[in-house]
Structure 1
């Protein structure tokens, strides 16, 4: 009987041990499940975040925000740098020529060069002054007179521009550029019939030249 009691007690202890193991496995199972769920939740959050970031970047690229911004800044910096270099170089040469002419007012070659440089730099009023000084000594230079007329055109003084170009033709009647420019100035001034006549004359002088082809294009489009 004692042996059977021992065995029963041993069996109960064994069952308790098994039960503890089962409970322990249940606890571990719950903990593992909770940990797995946490890991899954973290993965979901990470995946969603990545999808949002990729989508946002794709939208920026498609709409050209990155490209246009960078390209615009690069282009703007390059343009400003080039303009700054050209302007500084022109201004230095302009100053040198002005000093040279001040020391020798009869230097007409430098005066004409200065006038051209001022025109190229957009300093039209100063350019006109130097063209006039040059033309006093060289009135028959049709090219210089046409260039001066272009300065008047850029100053919106169309009447004077037309008058000076017509004066240039008195010295050089077949000056094709003068004819073309007279067509353009009259067109800008809304003198439509006059502009057509000048374009026709430009074509008649030489239809195969660049000026002749340009005049023909303007005739066709207007």
Structure 2
């Protein structure tokens, strides 16, 4: 008898919500979301909702994870390297690691970074490099990148991150304070072209305050 993964049902739900990239759906289905949650919330792992993970942070709603990943993969240059700003629980990181050759992830809260690194090892995902640092500054020494994803809302578009995009690269980022929008920023022929995707709700991208 074939074992039915709980992630398959979540992937089917996301398909119904409009996610169409089969690579993304397969990664969602294969990733045990309960691994990234505290014991008291594991029973909610396959609900399509954001959940708290401590330190004032959240694990994003699966739909948003899938949508942002789908947008990243839609960049015109078949992206291979991605910079993630905000490792958090590591859930988004794990999805990216299944779809990109190399993932570079920056987290300002050391304890979250440590937990995420242990989870990556348990899941046998080894194409990830992590840094404890200020997400507003990115990770310039490893760039430029084919794609950049930001998992917290910036008050404005970070210039340092835009500068770390390759020509043909794509940045997916929520921007705003009370009202937030998910932006898709393409670097084409030396210019940035920005498109608003949809309204979202993220914790703020904090500058300079490492923990």
Q: Which has the higher helix share?
A: 1
Query: Shared topology, TM-score over 0.5?
Result: no
Higher RCO (CA-CA < 8 Å; seq separation 6+): 2
TM-score, with length taken from structure 1: 0.21
Q: Which has the higher strand share?
A: 2
TM-score, with length taken from structure 2: 0.22
